Amino acid sequence: MWGHIALFIIKYRVWLLSLIGVSTVYMAWVAKDVEMTYDFAQVVSPKDPDMVYFQQFKKTFGEDGNILVLGMQDSSVYQLKNFTQLQSLTDTLAKVQGVSGVLGITRLIQIEKDTAHGRFVTAPVFRGPPRTQHELDSLMRVVNNIEFYKGQIIAPRTGATLLAVTLDPAYLNSNRRQAVMNSILGHAGRFEKSTGIKLHYAGLPYVRSTMTTKVAGEMKFFALLVLVVMGITLYLFFRTWSAVVFPLLVVAIVMVWCIASIVLLGYKINLLTGLIPSILVVIGVPNCTYLLSRYHYDYRKSGNQILAMTRVIRKIGLITLMNNTTTAIGFVVFTFTDIAILYQFGMVATINIFVAFIISFIMIPAVFTYLPPPTEKQLEHLDSKPLMGIINFLDYIVLNRRGTVYLAALGLLVIAGLGIRKIEAVSFMVDDLPKNSSVNSDLSFFEAHFSGVMPLEFVVDTGKPNGLLKLPNLQKIDQFERFLRAQPELSPPISIVTFVKAATQAFYNGQPQFYHLPDNSDKNFILSYLANSKGTGAGTDSKLVRSFIDSKSESARVSLKIADIGSHKLDTLVNRRIQPAIDRIFKGTGMKVTRTGTTVIFTKGNEYVIGTLQESLLWAFALVALVVLLLFRSFRTIFYALTPNLVTLSLTAGIMGYIGIALKPSTALIYVIALGIDGDNSIHLLAKFRQEMAIGGRTVREAITNTLSEAGTSMIYTSIVLFIGFSIFAFSEFGGTKALGVLMGASLLITNFSNLVLLPALLVTFEHGKNEQISGSAPIRHYDDSYHEEDDDMDQNLQRLSVERVKPVKTV
């Protein structure tokens, strides 16, 4: 079959190249509409109970992750000139399209008692710009007496203050978000410049915007950098620019198709799919390298370009397809999950790995049969002395020091096991950004002054309509809030209880000592005032208050902000400290407390993803085993193929533990990818070994020597290319991308030991002994029963193709 495919590609190469060109132009036109996203909710299954509850929470109470905060700690902000600038900034931000509200010190509202009508009314503290410094100081004393805002808008200990900008969800979850963020940051920057007051930024919208911008920038930068580095590597190997330009053209086309496929599938670029174009470069270039090195090898034997290329396609077409299939398995297992971000990553990567295979197997043969044949100088890499020295050394080790190989492998596994025990599964909301980034430094500011800005929510369900109107239920919520307020990682909570407390303070003419729930002596007066306040903006029907209770006054939202303390500490805080307090406080009341919020979903997502990836790794092993079984029709070969990969993954995990890389979604997926890529080398070597054994009279030792001489060369080439390609990611600003570069680079170094030393040693040991010739009933069967000798192959192809015999190149 592959012989027919080879003839078809060469015969219709002009038409095929034209088809690729036209299709790529269309794909480039589609790719221009690609969008970016950074949605934490994508990491949790939509069927997960916590996710279902979170979606219901947002329908009832609104978004919890749509607030951008701007903080400052500078006493000069309370000088009249700067305060006027702050007031102007606040009013300007409120008018930005996509902003639904702004709460800051200049827009604070106070509750006042209307004794004439027996109700509460609201009024702004600052009814207009203060005209004098004395007036400003007087109004600030009023602000400082309003207990409700302490710890929320003003830090009582440090005097820091913030602006809370609420974004419209319709803009937040669309491609218009970046324009809104740019407008907000532009106005804030002008305020900083005119006043000299340093602003700090935080909140999920800001984190998402920053991450999205950096993902886009890194995707372009690394894609270009990888292309340049790969080009240099290819030139050093082949010593001809044609072997640089056209492989890079192949991967450039594949990258365009990849981005277009994201659009056609209805996806957006996220932190994972943003890596795929660069990953495809380091996967696509080895395809081209493998084809070109085999083309040079066969051309040196035959001296005929077309004949050499047809042999390349026929002899390695199936095995290269299987190699790409094995690589794709590392990604396709992600499509078995209903986690959106993993499913999209797996789907896009799998499709484009096969796109890379098809395009490279059409373009490289089509183009290089048109170009002049390789010169003797360009073929010198086949006999590179350093490379041959390495191959000869490996051959000696495999044939004469197998005991040392097994002891070394066992010792490395023991050392790796100790490193694996050091791995911790922990993640942070912004831990993929560098520690010295502005996001992390600003986050530290808010954690120091306001105990953080990451949302954490609790919902207290009284179990009865109007249950929140009963004072004993409010007292229980208040008891729970006092406990929460005592936790250093949490900000002071906001709930219906804090509003009632503020109303009580207003009832007593704003005196701070009366900021508490009403007692039996005054509850009737205060509750009657609240009941009369409907429609005034001060009662339970105000927009702000309605975001903290449901329509039946049955469930109350308790909203807090938390520091980015990491998944471990968050689990300890919620499950070992807060949950026991909930059980104790609400025992016997019939009230139910449920935790939710974006932070909880993010943490749940990490656990979900890591658990899913463990299952995906098992699926990947099973699928690789199936591919090997179908290819070689031998169960023993599964042992040969998977053992080196188990060693590679174990040693990589050990390195991960020793250098302190945490297990999280962005690092856990490395192992599934590594299994797919490392499996290529095992199948490649086993396939070449069977080809050698198919030649009559060969012993296992002779077959191993010849296999290492030919297959080892291309494996070392491709490993070097992949190592250089993935190592570039180690310079990324993102922790997950950097870990990808470090661990994949380590994996590719280790796989040379596993597949060029350990695997051949296993073959020599177990394939009928070290000197015995394998018969036709050998455990490993040839993957291509249509294998023919090269002379027959030459005659057959020369009869079917009209080509002129090119003078053979002398063997060096």
Calculate the dihedral angle through the C-alpha atoms of 778, 784, 788, 790, rounding to the nearest 10 degrees.
-110
More confident residue, 464 or 811: 464
For the cut 70, the answer to whether the pLDDT of residue 173 exceeds it is no
Least confident segment among 90-104, 144-158, 481-495, 736-750: 736-750
In the numeric block, which tokens belong to residue 680?
Answer: 């290529």
pLDDT tens per residue, range 338-359? 777 788 888 998 999 999 999 9
Percent of the chain clearing pLDDT 70 (strictly above): 88
Q: Please report the pLDDT score of residue 431 as a whole number.
A: 65
Q: Please report the pLDDT score of residue 234 as a whole number.
A: 79
Categorize the per-residue pLDDT at 690 as very low, low, confident or very high, splitting at 50, 70 and 90. confident
- When mean pLDDT is compared over 316-330, 346-360, 702-716, 735-749, the highest value belongs to 346-360
Q: Please report the pLDDT score of residue 586 as a whole number.
A: 93
- Which amino acid, one-letter code, is at 418? L
The Cα 605–Cα 567 span in angstroms is 10
In the numeric block, which tokens belong to residue 605?
Answer: 């997502």
The Cα 447–Cα 456 span in angstroms is 14
- When mean pLDDT is compared over 17-26, 178-187, 236-245, 713-722, the highest value belongs to 17-26
Q: Please report the pLDDT score of residue 418 as a whole number.
A: 93
Categorize the per-residue pLDDT at 18 as very low, low, confident or very high, splitting at 50, 70 and 90. very high
Q: Please report the pLDDT score of residue 599 as a whole number.
A: 82
More confident residue, 440 or 474: 474
Domain boundaries, the chain: 2-38+209-421+602-800
Calculate the dihedral angle through the C-alpha atoms of 211, 217, 220, 224, rounding to the nearest 10 degrees.
-120
Q: Please report the pLDDT score of residue 369 as a whole number.
A: 86
In the numeric block, which tokens belong to residue 245?
Answer: 């330009």
Tell me what the pLDDT averaged over the chain comes to: 81
pLDDT tens per residue, range 354-398? 999 999 989 989 898 888 888 887 777 777 778 788 888 988 999
Q: Please report the pLDDT score of residue 806 as a whole number.
A: 40
For the cut 50, the answer to whether the pLDDT of residue 598 exceeds it is yes
The Cα 665–Cα 340 span in angstroms is 13
Categorize the per-residue pLDDT at 434 as very low, low, confident or very high, splitting at 50, 70 and 90. low
The Cα 147–Cα 509 span in angstroms is 13
Pair 558, 473: CB distance under 8 Å? no
Q: Is 378 helix (H, G, I), strand (E, B) or coil?
A: helix
Half-sphere exposure of 26 (CA within 13 A, CB side): 8
Q: Please report the pLDDT score of residue 200 as a whole number.
A: 93
pTM for the predicted model, two decimal places: 0.73
For the cut 50, the answer to whether the pLDDT of residue 810 exceeds it is no
For the cut 60, the answer to whether the pLDDT of residue 789 exceeds it is no
Q: Please report the pLDDT score of residue 317 as a whole number.
A: 81
Q: Please report the pLDDT score of residue 39 as a whole number.
A: 59
Q: Please report the pLDDT score of residue 798 as a whole number.
A: 46
Q: Please report the pLDDT score of residue 737 as a whole number.
A: 74
Pair 40, 273: CB distance under 8 Å? no
The Cα 688–Cα 698 span in angstroms is 13
In the numeric block, which tokens belong to residue 550?
Answer: 């449901």
Categorize the per-residue pLDDT at 533 as very low, low, confident or very high, splitting at 50, 70 and 90. low
More confident residue, 675 or 503: 503
Q: Please report the pLDDT score of residue 790 as a whole number.
A: 45
The Cα 392–Cα 408 span in angstroms is 19
Domain 2-38+209-421+602-800: state its class: mainly alpha
The Cα 404–Cα 407 span in angstroms is 5
Residues 6 or more apart in contact with residue 187 via CB below 8 angstroms:
89, 92, 93, 96
Residues 6 or more apart in contact with residue 529 via CB below 8 angstroms:
113, 118, 119, 120, 503, 507
The Cα 749–Cα 648 span in angstroms is 9
